[in-house]
Amino acid sequence: MNGVGVARLPALGVVARALGHPKVRSGGLLVLILFLVAGLAPWLAPHDPNEQDLMLTLLPPAWAEGGSSAYPLGTDGLGRCVLSRLVHGSRVALLVAVVAAFGAMSIGTTLAIVAGYFGGWIDRLVSAAVALWMAFPPVVFSMMLMIGLGTGVGNVILAVVLVDWTRFCRVVRAEVLVVRQREYVQAARLLGFSHLRTIVSEVLPAVAPLMLTLLSLQMGVAIVVEAILSFVGLSVPSDVVAWGVMLADGRDQIHQATWNLLAPMFGIVWAVLGFNLLSDGLRTALDPRLRTGR
């Protein structure tokens, strides 16, 4: 319970309530496995992901006729291990997802809280910037930025942040407009709290559940955007393993080696499904307006 008499559940209670939701548990499990695979990639991958063996090109998976147990998911057109590339590709996907999502959240939420709390010309200016930014199709805008910035994981992260901060800003601002009218925020101001203290102690905790929900959702979006950019050759250099690069490499052998496309597609679906389930579960578990309808 804070100084102005607003009762909030302790952090442990919030965590326990979130973990009690089935979507949070299932999505969290998928995400946890993904992080473990990415973290243990050097030990889980049976081969160097860029190691080529032109004598073993387009080997089928180990369980298919002609497959080899040394290459559980087969090889691609250059004789590279598909499983090793799939495992190492998760590292790029998660790096972009985590850093880009936190970057977009930091920028978008800061602007949203300032605009929603103070209102007036600040709110109008931020709202106009968001409307202008969202007029550009996100994927096209990302491609335009990558053409200007050049390839590289850092530039991919920057492009995703510059495109997707508006998602946080628009949604969080709407919530701040509601929160600032609540009694405990008004009471904090009457007790002499500064604007900064009111924002940090009252407004920010109130919108934190929404921020967590959007953060998880944004990680899934960032993975898809990175895959699209790497698929068209605008993301990472050719020697960096990424799921989009695997899709681009496998499209030429779609008929004779379908597994080259299915493997990275499975990775993308796994990651996006995990983050989306986690986001949806957090939204339901932490929002009192939705909890009763669970």
User: Would you list the DSSP string of 189-211?
Assistant: HHTT--HHHHIIIIIHHHHHHHH
Which residues, 6 or more positions from 76, have their beta carbon under 8 angstroms from its beta carbon?
A: 57, 58, 82, 85, 246, 249, 250, 253, 257, 260
For residue 1, pLDDT beyond 50? no
25 burial level (CB within 10 Å; 0-12, 13-18, 19+): middle
> What average pLDDT score do residues 205-223 get?
91
Tell me what the pLDDT averaged over the chain comes to.
87
Give pLDDT, residue 12: 57
User: Would you list the DSSP string of 93-116?
Assistant: HHHHHHHHHHHHHHHHHHHHHHHH
Question: How confident is residue 241, by pLDDT bands cut at 50, 70 and 90?
Answer: very high
What DSSP designation does 61 have?
Answer: P
Q: Which domains does the chain have, with CATH numbers?
A: 19-39+77-289 (1.10.3720.10)
Give pLDDT, residue 234: 86
Question: Which CA distances in Å does 253 have to 44, 71, 161, 213, 259?
Answer: 26, 18, 34, 39, 9
CB of 171 closer than 8 Å to CB of 210: yes
Residue count of the chain, please give it: 294
Give pLDDT, residue 293: 45
* CA-closest candidate to residue 271, choices 211, 233, 225, 208: 225
